[in-house]
Structure 1
Amino acid sequence: MMRLDKFLAKMGAGSRQEVKSYIRKGMVSVNGETVSRPETKIDEEKDEIFLQGKRIAYAAFEYYMLNKPAGVISATEDKKETTVVDLIREKKRKDLFPVGRLDKDTEGLLLITNDGVLAHRLLSPNHHVDKTYFVRVHGRVTEEEEKSFLAGVNIGTGDEEEWTRPARLEILKSGEESEVRLTIQEGKYHQIKRMFQAVGMEVLYLKRLSMGKLTLDPGLKPGEYRLLTEKELCDVTDENAGRH
């Protein structure tokens, strides 16, 4: 059981003070009856709650696929910058967060949810979840880099060593500017940029294509998003057996 005002605020109907005002003004009904007391207890999973005739359905968890555009930061809130959560306009939950971070200038697949258990399993290196990126770099990528990345790269600075786990590098185009598909199972700070920097190359463009079985919908333009399909959600949770 949950307080009515708390439920409405959690489902994004307004701030706690705003929804209290809605309730006291008779704008909210529970199971067909108008309710005027914010502290009224409701069963969030069974009761039917309407605000000004619009059904407010309970959502314990939300899962959105976002094609993150460049120029947006991977955070829940920021006073100066637009965040990835700001882009999710129809969200019900106020506790959404991005699963992992993409640099401000990086594009591509980002999962936005409030499911902390799932997020931990997807991000933990111990679960060996593949993260695949399209990368354009300044420099000629050869089989030598393929072997180096597969063996692990030292991305440390100075005398401090910091080795990456083995990564799979597929060369798509090799030249003054090269294009590759790179798969890693970690998420170290600026990892991909530092990996290429370690072999004398500069990343010009970076886009995440997939995370485990979750693949970026090619129909989503940068900045667009949608809810995960049932199959996608099943695929993600199947990869993390034991969660439910």
Structure 2
Amino acid sequence: MERLQKVIAHAGVASRRKAEKMITEGKVTVNGKVVKELGTKVSPNDDVEVEGVPLTKEAPVYYLLYKPRGVISSVKDDKGRKVVTDYLPDVEERIFPIGRLDFDTSGILLLTNDGEFANLLMHPSHEVDKVYIVKTKGIPEDEQLKRFKKGVTIEGETFKAVHTKVLSADAKKNSAIIQVILHEGKNRQIRKMFEGLGYPVDKLKRERYGSLTLQGLNAGDYRPLKPHEIKQLRQMAEENVK
């Protein structure tokens, strides 16, 4: 027997918090009856529906996508733009992205139907390294970049980087290539950090997530995660979540 909200989250329908809200709002039925109690437990034999849609008892799947630029990190878009799941047409399970990459950002994006795994990785304290390569307009000084480690506050929100390093600089083109390592992943974080210093981001790519890289993939390619990769990610996140 498992808590109803956990079962809903594990099915990939919503985060556990959102699942709890759906339950209290009367959007969930168990064996045809509306259930609003958060302490409700269900077994694999119970029929659970969320907003009239039965939960499919899918086996968990895990994928790595090399997200191209100009793609929405979502499963649908009301403006008809391309979304990340368009690149995995052969996957039958109801998968969704773990976190997001901005529309103009390329690189590693993980997708799954395992809501519990996704919530674990997105926990703010999981401390899995996410490595980005940034091309800036202008060449920041090392001392300026060191501010990122202490944290910079922009519009009332504080952003931090674990590590920054200038990989190369082109004085003629007035641009730099910089490596940035994050643990957190706030909306447009890197772009806001560099714009706050006066160096707009020209290109941005996430090239590593934990021990996962883009090796052997071109933009738009995807592959299933290997069992040891899933285990390693789970262990990294569980070790660091407070």
- TM-score, normalising length: structure 1: 0.69
Amino acid at match of 2:207: L
Query: Residue 186 of structure 1 aligns with which residue?
Result: 184
Q: Matches of 1:130 and 1:177 in 2, distance apart?
A: 25
Query: Residue 163 of structure 1 aligns with which residue?
Result: 158
Amino acid at match of 1:102: L
Deviation at 1:201, TM superposition (A): 0.4
Distance 1:228 1:90, change over 3 A: same
Query: Per-residue CA shift, 1:66-91, capped at 9, x if unaligned?
Result: 00001110001124011101211121
Query: Residue 75 of structure 1 aligns with which residue?
Result: 74
Query: Residue 206 of structure 2 aligns with which residue?
Result: 208
Q: Matches of 2:58 and 2:165 in 1, distance apart?
A: 40
Could you list the runs of 5+ residues in structure 2 that have no partner in the other structure? 1-10, 12-44, 46-56
Query: Residue 50 of structure 1 aligns with which residue?
Result: none
The question of 1:237 aligning with 2:234 is answered yes
Distance 1:178 1:171, change over 3 A: same
Q: Matches of 1:135 and 1:148 in 2, distance apart?
A: 16
Could you list the runs of 5+ residues in structure 1 that have no partner in the other structure? 1-9, 11-42, 44-57
Q: Matches of 1:240 and 1:221 in 2, distance apart?
A: 27
Distance 1:240 1:148, change over 3 A: closer
Query: Residue 50 of structure 2 aligns with which residue?
Result: none
Of 96-105 and 142-151, the range deviating more from structure 2: 142-151
Aligned partners of 1:77 and 1:86 also within 8 Å = no
Amino acid at match of 1:164: F
Amino acid at match of 1:239: M
Q: CA RMSD in A?
A: 2.1
Distance 1:206 1:97, change over 3 A: same
- TM-score, normalising length: structure 2: 0.70
Q: Matched residue pairs, number?
A: 182
Query: Per-residue CA shift, 1:121-155, capped at 9, x if unaligned?
Result: 21121222221101100111221123111111122
Where 2:87 maps in the other structure, the secondary structure is coil
Query: Residue 103 of structure 2 aligns with which residue?
Result: 104
Amino acid at match of 2:107: G
Query: Residue 223 of structure 1 aligns with which residue?
Result: 220
Deviation at 1:166, TM superposition (A): 4.2
Q: Which has the larger radius of gyration?
A: 1
Aligned partners of 2:121 and 2:234 also within 8 Å = no
Identical aligned pairs, as a percentage? 36
Query: Per-residue CA shift, 1:10-44, capped at 9, x if unaligned?
Result: 9xxxxxxxxxxxxxxxxxxxxxxxxxxxxxxxx9x
Deviation at 1:118, TM superposition (A): 1.4
Q: What does residue range 137-148 of structure 1 map to in structure 2 within 5 Å?
A: 137-148=136-147
Q: Matches of 1:149 and 1:240 in 2, distance apart?
A: 23
Q: Matches of 1:187 and 1:177 in 2, distance apart?
A: 24
Q: Matches of 2:157 and 2:103 in 1, distance apart?
A: 23
Aligned partners of 1:59 and 1:92 also within 8 Å = no
Query: Residue 122 of structure 1 aligns with which residue?
Result: 121
